[in-house]
Chains A and B, each alone.
Chain A
């Protein structure tokens, strides 16, 4: 069979064996049944374990199908885990940019704010973790939309006259995000405010969230309403650092 990837075939065979078996299976058992070297099977099992498709029993060392296989359609990364893993990079982003930082993920067709760092000016600000924001009118949302197979809802709400609501316009916007590797929103949700965001990737490059800064449009953008390159750089750097910690492009 030309054009197939052997290790993926083998991984599939291992998963089928685990699914068909009576319970947990040992490494030797799997290797014997598939007539593969133990080392090969071990490497594949370790990888499957890393992505959550396989679990290893601590006491016996035997393997079984992982819980993640049952929830393939939902986000594989716990939102509190995402916050916990991002917190060290969100703080420096706020400090460098001088703006508020938010991290979001998709929840029921909207952006769920999972982490929020105040703008570092020690003014009174309120935590808005748990808030839901529109996907099409925020930088976080556009970034999250750009890397998803699902299409945005057909009737998009207009918040300001700059809100992008025409499907064609939004599609072009998302294509730009994919091209550039970051997204922006200028007065599309609230007049006078703008935001920049970049994708957070997990293993295999899967986009699991977005991180961005937002603030007054005159601080985020230049006189031509384009985000400052410096800010874009900070945001992308933070996104890359979190992605690296999450195991994106480990090899």
Chain B
């Protein structure tokens, strides 16, 4: 019998990957391509959506070839995507309207401030269970409609379509201008400020509030359901799932029960806690989000703590400061010293996310003395990720009433042994890496495979989860307390940096 496989397309912030998985959830082959990051102004971050689609077209056959398989051996493809990144395009030609506005982009600051002052703001935030913030797609659509002459009218007429990355890819995979399916899934829709998070439909109130025409919005589908069959990239293969990347990682870590949590360490880092069919509203800077929906079953929700800058701080250290040649070398450099030398880096490059949500904050390096070497800075870079995790875990414990006893981790930064030990130390709980660091892709693959019956149920998926590594806390509580206090003082120094215009 011919072996069959599932493919995940992980459309991330810095790169797009196609990964082939087998029935045990093991990686069979991988093809990856970075795409260009555009920074036209401070605080602006853009992607070329067409470049990303072309990368998918190029990577698909490459991944198949590397696995030594043909498309007919692929039962389904699942998509995991960078969330909140906003694409508008012409329905007729398939050409994007300008570049995609990336989730890190803070240009909607003024839009958000203006909208916050409007009477409907509280209602919109309650319906979507999200704060009004530059982070989400709704304000970006408003900004794009405002800054392209005639776009609002074209959008009203249904000539312009909106989508987050999965919507853009599904539309192109299923034919684009020739009958492409214009759909999103509940997890991505829950990051727009436009979704009524209870009914899982677009909220008419929110659409009116943002002035976003209904005609440009995609149809909302469950995360795990066949969206259609691909005609490009993977001709004939069914698209079995779409999930925001962090929700995909939660799925890939098989955190299916309420109380289970994971943290994915990538460009940014995201801690998600499954809260089951209950939507828990946050009172301390966490987000309530849809975790996943399997077919017509009730949706599962999650509490999320988002940290904007973690891996990208290492990239900054590599590309802007040029103190290391490759990201993993940060660990080599950090190990040249035994501690941070009193130095702390708070990477509020585009404000602070959870639990602070301060868009006016900007980064600081504090504690500089003539004693500080690049080794200390490297340590401070890694510790910044650990302490930001601690802040989120504290908020989550308070908000959910649950106490995190183990942190399941994944993502590229889990290869950094010093960082993983540091996280275990500052959280004072074991940190566990599963035998699949690529849980974002794995989650998309699991979801797609589940949709077409490749895996029978969630228990089937759970059996694939194994512990690959574990780091146990080994920090003196007094040191932990003192360092956390220093960190919190450093964080306060980032506040109120950008003055309102």
Contact = CB atoms under 8 A, between A and B. Distances in A.
* A and B together in one complex: yes
B26 A83 contact: no
A94 interface: yes
B416 interface: yes
A88 B416 CA distance: 14
B328 A84 contact: yes
Interface in B381-427: 412, 414-417
Contact of A78 (B27, B332, B438): B332
A129 interface: yes
Nearest to A87: B415
Contacts of A116: 469
A121 B468 CA distance: 9
B67 to A, nearest CB: 11
B468 A120 contact: yes
Interface string A114-127: 00111011100111
A80 B30 contact: no
Interface in A79-99: 79-81, 83-85, 87-89, 91-92, 94-96
A47 B23 CA distance: 40
Interface string B438-473: 100000000000000000000000000011111100
Contacts of B412: 84
Interface in A39-89: 58, 78-81, 83-85, 87-89
B466 A120 contact: yes
A191 to B, nearest CB: 27
A78 B435 contact: no
A91 B415 contact: no
B351 to A, nearest CB: 28
Contacts of B437: 87-88, 91
A120 B332 contact: no
Interface string B312-334: 00000000001000111111100
B22 to A, nearest CB: 9
B466 A78 contact: no
A78 B24 contact: no
B210 to A, nearest CB: 41
Given A83-B417, A84-B415, A122-B466, A94 B329 contact: no
Contact of A92 (B26, B331, B417, B470): B26
Contacts of B415: 80, 83-84, 87
B132 interface: no
A88 B466 contact: no
B8 to A, nearest CB: 13
B438 A118 contact: no
A81 B438 contact: no
Interface residues of A, number: 27
B216 interface: no
A80 B470 contact: no
B58 to A, nearest CB: 18
B417 A129 contact: yes
Given A84-B415, A87-B437, A127 B470 contact: yes
Contacts of A92: 26-28
B435 A91 contact: yes
B436 interface: yes
Contacts of B329: 78, 80-81
Nearest to A86: B415
B287 to A, nearest CB: 29
Interface in B1-57: 24, 26-28, 30
A62 to B, nearest CB: 15
A81 B437 CA distance: 16
Contacts of B417: 80, 83, 127, 129-130
A78 B435 CA distance: 23
Interface in A112-147: 116-118, 120-122, 125-127, 129-130
A91 B470 contact: no
Contacts of A122: 466-467
A118 B470 contact: yes
Contacts of A120: 435, 466-468
A2 B151 CA distance: 69
A250 B467 CA distance: 33
A80 B435 contact: no
Contacts of B435: 91, 94-95, 117-118, 120
A83 B416 CA distance: 8
Nearest to A93: B26
Contacts of B328: 78, 80-81, 83-85
A118 B24 CA distance: 17
A215 B397 CA distance: 39
B470 A96 contact: no
A148 B468 CA distance: 31
A84 B327 contact: yes
Contacts of A130: 417
Contact of B469 (A58, A96, A117): A117
A246 B414 CA distance: 19
A118 B467 contact: yes
B468 to A, nearest CB: 5
> Could you say which of A79, A92, A94, A126 has the most chain B C-beta atoms within 10 Å of its C-beta?
A92
A117 B28 CA distance: 18
A78 B469 contact: no
Contacts of A87: 414-415, 437
A118 B469 contact: yes
Contacts of A126: 470
Interface of A: 58, 78-81, 83-85, 87-89, 91-92, 94-96, 116-118, 120-122, 125-127, 129-130
Given A91-B468, A92-B26, A120-B435, 18 more contacts: A81-B329, A83-B328, A84-B328, A84-B415, A87-B437, A88-B27, A88-B437, A89-B27, A91-B26, A91-B436, A94-B435, A94-B466, A117-B435, A118-B468, A118-B469, A122-B466, A122-B467, A127-B469
11 contacts: A80-B328, A80-B415, A81-B329, A84-B415, A95-B466, A116-B469, A117-B469, A118-B468, A120-B435, A120-B466, A120-B468
Q: Nearest 9 pairs between A and B by C-beta? A: A120-B466, A80-B328, A84-B328, A84-B415, A80-B331, A81-B328, A92-B26, A117-B468, A87-B415
